[in-house]
């Protein structure tokens, strides 16, 4: 028998680690640095190895997965797991409400509803006996599901034992296991880098991760669980309203959706739905609708069930984000840097709230990966303002006359050679500024609002100017005459005057805008700003060696190389000279040595929506003042800039007692250091 001390240490380590898990994964409020967590976990693993008799299935050390299973066991649900009726409009909601009132009697209204986002994941049941997680199961067909206990144990937001003392002897908790969008992107990016198959959407990724015989794989996947109700309850009582039950589950250690709300009457349900629809895409997880439930459990009982769904609940759906359509053709577009992008022309389809007739195919690797052919039926996904994507091919619908997609071996616009650099997925036209497509794209970029901001010089006009041979590069814009403009189709006296005035006006610019406007590869707005602040003037920048360029915040070897190539190109420098000769000018910027910058040694984080600045700009300005800008809040964060919609970063900062300021305060701070964006 081991002495009591190590056993006590094991118990207290387990308790401590589970408390940290709960703070981190359920409350979104971490309290200790990762390193401390890791140290305690290492110590626990060491002690458990030394004292195997202390083994317990609910030890936090078991969340990494054990021996793979041969096959899944079957589970018969004590209470069937039902589905929900759907509503697609406010009218459907009125009918739902009418049916409820008809059954309950008019004096029952207006009814109280619990509203919850409908998470798009996998429904699961968790059975706790005497507070210990005994079994996890999928919904399956509603009656029989699969035993996934070994997998759910690896999900950190699922408590292995219930918190507190007061809970029913048998408690079945139900909810959705899902993969947050960020985790899904990361998982897919990693798969892409390794040339492995990617998941079509977060839901499939969650399902695939959960359906693993080897729980060690599940343990590595960023899965979450959010609870929305209970099944079997024995030997104890829960509160009388759905929302209170959820609050109780939260106290017992479960994650519940922070967007949940209780409202009175069906009109308030509609308002909740509309408000959430606006925010749908900015939520960190996919939802496909809102579930409305009669809040009073006694009323739920009276309402009962029809076939496989409760009468007391309904799921109002958002427009689908995935639809099927046909690939009609593939066109190849040439971008500003010569990159050739295959664009799918689709039979128009309503998806993600808009009609989509084009989707990006990214590059030739993507075409190979999808195995898509012209004529195929494809699944198109459009989530929010993300460019529509083809996520998969419905192979059994392939017509006999489907055609393989041939990637062009010459530039489709200027017939120059195409090449791809080793290790790159993108083919590029080598025509450079000879290529009309590249000319047009470069001029559009130069004139755009965040670059030289030439008002009235839209895409159509740029195309006309290049097609008519009036302009070949950006310098040509400033040589345009009124007569030349008037000769263009649909160009009146007034528009011509306005355009010339706008061109004249654009000549007074700033160094960061000018650098950005040149369209050097990989040099976006933030990098342009960093370059301008670092070098202070154009000649210093243009003369900078690769080593000097590498000193600039956020500039790595690839960007430095693109910059040097640009400065070494005679043609490019001739264009810059002509621009300056035409009168384009900007003030120099005062520069300070790195060590003397006011925010040196500080770590800042920016989150939420900003108004006057993009987050990238805010980041670049802070960097220009010497601060490091990090992606997540931790104990060594100096200050968090939080705009509306700030979520877990804000709660974490508050928890850790870190200074939080809003955009207005940031602008003031920047102004005191002479930055007036």
315 binds ligand IVH (CB under 6 A): yes
Give 236: exposed, middle or buried? Use CB within 10 Å, 0-12, 13-18, 19+. Answer: exposed
180 binds ligand IVH (CB under 6 A): no
The pair of structure tokens assigned to 524 is 């976006």
Nearest Cα neighbor of 18 from 55, 53, 62, 50 is 62
- 118: annotated active-site residue: yes
CB atoms near residue 151 (< 10 Å): 28
Nearest Cα neighbor of 352 from 327, 400, 385 is 385
Which region among 16-24, 77-85, 393-401, 614-622 touches ligand IVH (by CB under 6 A)?
A: 77-85
172 binds ligand IVH (CB under 6 A): no
228 binds ligand IVH (CB under 6 A): yes
Going by DSSP bridges, is the β-strand pair 313-317/287-294 parallel, antiparallel, or unpaired? antiparallel
Among 14, 63, 77, 118, indicate the residue that binds ligand IVH (CB under 6 A): 118
Shortest gap between Cβ of 260 and ligand IVH (angstroms)?
8
526 binds ligand IVH (CB under 6 A): no
Identify which of residues 48 and 176 has a Cβ nearer to ligand IVH in the complex.
176
Q: How far apart are the two ends of the chain, measured CA to CA in Å?
A: 70
Identify which of residues 225 and 517 has a Cβ nearer to ligand IVH in the complex.
225
- Give Cα 224 distance to the centre of its chain: 16
Shortest gap between Cβ of 294 and ligand IVH (angstroms)?
11
Which region among 82-90, 102-110, 155-163, 435-443 touches ligand IVH (by CB under 6 A)?
A: 82-90
Query: Where does 544-611 show beta strands of DSSP type E?
Result: 603-607
Q: How wide is the angle at C-alpha 213 spanned by C-alphas 208 and 219, nearest 5°?
A: 70
Identify which of residues 313 and 523 has a Cβ nearer to ligand IVH in the complex.
313
Which region among 147-155, 232-240, 307-315, 317-325 touches ligand IVH (by CB under 6 A)?
A: 307-315
Shortest gap between Cβ of 77 and ligand IVH (angstroms)?
12
Nearest Cα neighbor of 345 from 361, 359, 324 is 359
176 binds ligand IVH (CB under 6 A): yes
Total of residues contacting ligand IVH (CB under 6 A): 15
Helix (H) or strand (E) holding 324: strand 322-334
Q: What are phi and psi of 675, to 5 degrees?
A: -105, 115
Pairwise CA distance, residues 49 & 43, whole Å:
10
Q: Indicate the DSSP class of residue 552.
A: S
Contact yes or no for 308/83 (Cβ under 8 A) = yes
Shortest gap between Cβ of 293 and ligand IVH (angstroms)?
7
Shortest gap between Cβ of 392 and ligand IVH (angstroms)?
22
Contact yes or no for 567/590 (Cβ under 8 A) = no
Identify which of residues 118 and 428 has a Cβ nearer to ligand IVH in the complex.
118
411 binds ligand IVH (CB under 6 A): no
Pairwise CA distance, residues 302 & 297, whole Å:
9
Which region among 308-316, 346-354, 599-607, 624-632 touches ligand IVH (by CB under 6 A)?
A: 308-316
Among 40, 82, 191, 277, indicate the residue that binds ligand IVH (CB under 6 A): 82
313 binds ligand IVH (CB under 6 A): yes
291 binds ligand IVH (CB under 6 A): yes
Catalytic annotation, pick one of 118, 293, 619, 652: 118
Start-end of H helices in 293-416: 297-303, 364-370
Calculate the alpha carbon distances from 474 to 77, 379, 461, 462 in Å: 69, 40, 14, 10
Among 66, 109, 265, 310, indicate the residue that binds ligand IVH (CB under 6 A): 310
677 binds ligand IVH (CB under 6 A): no
Q: Which of residues 138-167 bind ligand IVH (CB under 6 A)?
A: 139
Q: Is 498 helix (H, G, I), strand (E, B) or coil?
A: helix
Q: Indicate the DSSP class of residue 143.
A: S
Identify which of residues 290 and 346 has a Cβ nearer to ligand IVH in the complex.
290
83 binds ligand IVH (CB under 6 A): yes
Q: What are phi and psi of 165, to 5 degrees?
A: -110, -30
Shortest gap between Cβ of 157 and ligand IVH (angstroms)?
15
Please report, as ranges, the residues that interact with ligand IVH according to CB under 6 A: 82-84, 116, 118-119, 123, 139, 176, 228-229, 291, 310, 313, 315
Q: Which residues does the annotation mark as catalytic?
A: 118
């Amino acid at each position: 028998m081991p002495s009591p001390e190590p056993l006590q240490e094991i118990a207290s380590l387990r308790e401590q680690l589970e408390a940290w898990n709960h703070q981190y994964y359920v409350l979104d409020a971490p309290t200790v640095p990762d390193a401390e967590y890791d140290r305690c976990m290492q110590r626990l693993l060491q002690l458990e190895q030394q004292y195997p008799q202390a083994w317990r299935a609910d030890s936090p050390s078991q969340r990494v997965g054990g021996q793979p299973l041969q096959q899944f066991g079957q589970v018969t649900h004590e209470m069937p797991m039902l589905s929900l009726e759907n509503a697609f409009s406010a009218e459907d909601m009125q009918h739902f409400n009418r049916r409820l009132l008809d059954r309950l009697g008019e004096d029952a209204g207006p009814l109280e509803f619990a509203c919850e986002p409908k998470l798009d994941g996998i429904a699961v049941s968790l059975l706790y006996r005497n507070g210990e997680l005994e079994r996890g199961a999928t919904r399956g067909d509603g009656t029989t599901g699969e035993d996934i206990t070994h997998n759910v144990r690896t999900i950190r937001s699922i408590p292995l034992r219930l918190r507190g003392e007061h809970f029913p002897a048998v408690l079945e908790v139900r909810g959705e296991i899902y993969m947050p969008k960020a985790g899904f992107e990361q998982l897919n990016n990693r798969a892409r880098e390794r040339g492995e198959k990617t998941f079509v959407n977060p839901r499939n990724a969650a399902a695939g991760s959960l359906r693993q015989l080897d729980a060690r794989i599940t343990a590595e996947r960023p899965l979450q669980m959010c609870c929305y109700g209970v099944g079997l309850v024995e030997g104890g009582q829960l509160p009388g309203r759905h929302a209170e039950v959820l609050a109780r589950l939260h106290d017992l250690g479960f994650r519940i959706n922070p967007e949940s709300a209780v409202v009175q009457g069906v009109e308030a349900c509609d308002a909740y739905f509309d408000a959430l629809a606006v925010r749908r895409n900015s939520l960190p997880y996919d939802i496909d609708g809102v579930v409305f439930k009669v809040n009073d459990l006694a009323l739920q009982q009276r309402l009962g069930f029809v076939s496989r769904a409760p009468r007391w609940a309904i799921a109002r759906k958002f427009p689908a984000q995935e639809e099927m359509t046909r690939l009609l053709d593939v066109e190849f577009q040439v971008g500003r840097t010569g990159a050739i992008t295959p664009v799918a022309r689709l039979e128009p389809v309503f998806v993600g709230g808009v009609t989509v007739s084009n989707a990006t195919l990214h590059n030739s690797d993507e075409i190979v990966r999808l195995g898509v052919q012209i004529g195929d039926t494809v699944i198109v996904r459009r989530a929010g303002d993300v460019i529509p994507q083809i996520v998969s091919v419905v192979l059994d619908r392939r017509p006999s006359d489907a055609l393989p997609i041939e990637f062009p071996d010459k530039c489709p616009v200027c017939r120059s050679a195409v090449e791809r650099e080793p290790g790159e997925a993108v083919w590029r036209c080598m025509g450079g500024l000879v290529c009309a497509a590249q000319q047009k794209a470069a001029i559009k970029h130069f004139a755009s609002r965040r670059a030289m901001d030439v008002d009235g010089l839209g895409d159509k006009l740029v195309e006309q100017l290049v097609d008519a041979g009036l302009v070949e590069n950006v310098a040509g814009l400033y040589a345009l005459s009124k007569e030349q403009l008037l000769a263009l189709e649909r160009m009146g006296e007034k528009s011509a005057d306005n355009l010339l005035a706008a061109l004249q006006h654009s000549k007074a610019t700033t160094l960061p805008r000018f650098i950005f406007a040149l369209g050097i590869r990989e040099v976006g707005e933030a990098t342009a700003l960093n370059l301008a602040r670092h070098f202070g003037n154009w000649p210093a920048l243009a003369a900078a060696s690769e080593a000097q360029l590498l000193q600039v915040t956020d500039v790595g070897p690839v960007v430095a190389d693109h910059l040097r190539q640009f400065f070494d190109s005679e043609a490019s420098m001739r264009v810059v000279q002509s621009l300056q000769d035409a009168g384009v000018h900007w003030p120099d910027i005062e520069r300070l040595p790195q060590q003397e910058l006011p925010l040196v040694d500080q770590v800042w984080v920016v989150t939420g929506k900003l108004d006057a600045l993009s987050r990238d700009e805010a980041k670049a300005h802070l960097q220009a003042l010497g601060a490091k800008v990090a992606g997540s809040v931790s104990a060594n964060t100096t200050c968090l800039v939080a705009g509306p919609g700030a979520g877990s970063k804000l709660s974490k900062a508050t928890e850790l007692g870190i200074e939080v300021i809003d955009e207005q305060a940031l602008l003031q701070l920047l102004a005191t250091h002479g930055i007036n964006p």
